Amino acid sequence: MAQSLVKPSVSKSKAIKVAVKYSLSYVRVSTKDQLDGSGIKRQEKAYQDWLKKNNDYENLDEFKDLGLSGRGKNSKAGALNKIIEKAEKGEIPFGTCLVVESMSRLSREIPKNSLELLLRIFNSGLTIAFTEYGGKVFDGKGNDPAWFQLLGGMMQASIEWQTKQERIVGSFDAVQENLENGKLDHFKGREKGTKHGLYPFWLNFDEKRKQFIVLEEEAEIVRKIFTMAETMGVKKIERTLKDQGIKNPIGFKTEWFTRNVIRHCILENRVVLGEKVFRGKTYFGIYPAIITPEQFNLVQKAKQARVTNTVPQSAHHKVVNLFQGSIFCGHCGGRIEVVGVKRLVCKEFNVKNSPKIEVEYFSLHCSVGRNQTSNICSVTNAATYKQLHNGIDNELAILEKIQNFRWAEFFTDEKHENDIQVEKDKRTRYLNERNKVSNQIEKYKTAEEQYFEQGEILPQNLREKKNQAIEKYDELTEKYNRANLDIQNLKRKKTGKSLEDDIKKRVKNFINKGRFDVQERFKFNSWLKEMGMAIQVDIYKQKQTRKTPHKNYAFHVGIGMFDFITGKYRGLDQSIEDLVALGVDKKQVLESEEKRLEDYKKMSLEEGYDVRFPRGKK
């Protein structure tokens, strides 16, 4: 028992030696629900009530294990272990009483382990009191009947834990059975005002209809993050979302999106594709998909490319290829890449002994020809992109071509936004249906394996059902791909003169204010893709020489033609100019353009290749 010297107010003549007894509180909750609920408050109140009844004790300290299991973690690494270690080292006065709500708060281990823990507490010099058992102070000495109560409490705490685990396992078994059968009965709708739950924050569950509902406002944030991830790293996305005032809808720990949330909960989370992983198995079509597999895979490749990218970056880490994803080779239709190198050159051209300076050369290469794939593209040399020391800035030249192009002649379809949305809805519907069929195919395969393992003959109807499901899957894949191509082509059609003015204004502002700002370059690159613009680079085989300097390249901008079947770039659309040159009225040409494209598309799908181009053309 701790001793302390105090001076009673009734006497100033002599210090009287009186005994002061200390107590400390131990609180434990194991789940997040208890963290938010009344578990902590209930235990704290029980301790305060105990102090009132035992007013000869003085509170020494309070310890808490929050979100920690009572199956040994708290006594080995938590606050409880810290209490015992302090007592063993003599840092806590001998005889201090450890006050706990119940044995289940102290330990849920098997009785043998709980008994060893209790003996360790007593051997450290502590006593113990359980408020649920009347709050009597127990020191473990003698033949105190309290031993029977404590042993009973140990048994009860362990049995409660085991029962709870069995109940959890049983509920997990029920969930797995539901998922195997495509049922969603175990899901519940969100309580009003909550965003966290057993499914993503962009979904809610309709318990009456037994189906998920996409929360469009939240889903649009996810789509925006994926779009940014095509050209931005996670750090830039985090900063951009904050700059735009876009907050984390869940808001559990922070109101803003963190890099971990963006990376792990969104960009790498296949739940956006409608998949759910449970007990190590993937189930398809459980959730509505909000991102296409193509965009998901594109983002993963872009992330990997940013990690392994070996292309030299400029000193200010700008987006080197401003037109990435919109610039193509005029010979083969392949992607045009920007490659940068540093070289030492004479500061003054053709001056003997001129001092050397380091400069950067940026060149445009066809990704196919550069890899020496000569049977597809013979363009192995490059075009100049930037040589600022020589006054060459072809990035600016391309921007000026975009600014001055006759966009009003091409952007003719006034209802294009509705058309695009219709195709997007169709694509999402096909994707969700395909995910469900994929889940059914996996069930048939599992059933087949079980028959094989048991040495039984595979039923004919099972094989037939699986084949029918595979055919259905292929059919939905074809519809999905067609919808994708429809969207790509529709995005390349906008509305007339007003949009042309907007484009010119957008490009002009970018040239004057945003071209050297990394965030603005990212945004401009994304905008080019959204608009469906194409830049074609014709690189000629002649090479520039010092004696006879000349350009070996030409740039063209306009609306790209993309293969109806493969989606590959096929060249700039010259059909309007060609028909006008033949004497056809331009207005008539524009009015018939949509109908002509529909006819070409229908014929192409029937033939299995794009009929606008000869079969042999690459």
Instruction: Catalogue the active-site residues.
Output: 30
Q: How far is residue 179's CA from residue 282's CA, in Å, rounded to a whole number?
A: 10
Residues 57, 40 contacting (CB under 8 angstroms): no
Q: Name residue, tokens 């993937």.
A: 282
How would you classify the pairing of strands 57-66 and 21-29?
parallel
Nearest to 401 by CA among 327, 495, 493: 327
Q: Name residue, tokens 């794009």.
A: 610
Residues 516, 316 contacting (CB under 8 angstroms): yes
Using DSSP, state whether 3 is helix, strand or coil. strand
Q: Name residue, tokens 């050159």.
A: 345
Q: How many CB atoms lie within 10 A of CB 576?
A: 19
Looking from the CA of 175 toward its CB, the CA atoms found within 13 Å total: 17
| 455 burial level (CB within 10 Å; 0-12, 13-18, 19+) | exposed
How would you classify the pairing of strands 327-329 and 281-283?
unpaired
Region for 95 from its dihedrals, namely left if φ exceeds 0, alpha if ψ lies in -120 to 50, beta otherwise: left
Q: How far is residue 509's CA from residue 275's CA, in Å, rounded to a whole number?
A: 42
Q: How far is residue 322's CA from residue 327's CA, in Å, rounded to a whole number?
A: 9
Residues 437, 444 contacting (CB under 8 angstroms): no
Query: Cβ contacts of residue 593 below 8 Å, gap of 6+?
Result: 412, 575, 576
Angle of CA points 321, 327, 330, to nearest 5°: 135
